[in-house]
Amino acid sequence: MLLIVLLSFCLVAVVFVFHHHILIWLGLFAPKLKLQPQTQVLVIVFALYIAHIVEICLYAIVYFFAVEQFDLGEFNGAPVNDLMSYIYYSGVIYTSLGLGDIYPSGHIRFLTAMETLNGFLLITWSASFTFLAMGRLWSWSDSCDSVEKKRKKEE
């Protein structure tokens, strides 16, 4: 049991630090792009999407080793017998989707709970970052003015 607790907290720390570095990099890199502000926001969203996929894969790798190498539990329900199944399970847990076609037993239940909390925090962190980036990059008043001018021309 101590092993799964250590694995879980180490993985949470690694994923938080990874995500933090991605956000710092995006905060420094995105404004330097010679792109339209709306396109910069798309770059940010795409990069965050890729970061979440990497984080899901990191959890999947730990699930694989926890089950296959350390015998810290098993999966019931739908078969989990290849890497894609581990990635699928990790994605379902990370996003808090919780379909229930695969469910853990044994000590890996603790890792599952930690991934759900971690994924929820990281997804909301990304959403907050994107919201702030949109507020900084998009000039809403200019957008509203151009829509208003277009509407008046049509009248």
Note the pLDDT of residue 98: 83
The better pLDDT of the pair 38, 87 is held by 87
Number of domains in the chain: 1
The better pLDDT of the pair 24, 153 is held by 24
Calculate mean pLDDT across residues 109-115.
97
The better pLDDT of the pair 32, 132 is held by 132
Rg (the chain; Cα; Å): 20
Indicate which CATH number applies to the domain containing 119. 1.10.287.70
pLDDT in tens, 8-59: 999 999 999 999 999 999 999 888 888 888 899 999 999 999 999 999 999 9
Note the pLDDT of residue 92: 96
Note the pLDDT of residue 145: 60
The better pLDDT of the pair 7, 152 is held by 7
Calculate mean pLDDT across residues 77-106.
94
The answer on pLDDT for 139 being more than 80 is no
The answer on pLDDT for 152 being more than 80 is no
**Global pTM?**
0.88
Note the pLDDT of residue 138: 81
Helices 37-68 + 83-94 axis angle, to 10: 120
Calculate mean pLDDT across residues 78-86.
95
Range in 31-40, 86-95, 103-112 the model is least confident about: 31-40
Give residue 44's domain range. Answer: 2-154
- DSSP-assigned letters across all residues of 50-111: HHHHHHHHHHHHHHHHHHHTS--EEEEES---SHHHHHHHHHHHHTT----SEEEEETHHHH
The answer on pLDDT for 101 being more than 80 is yes
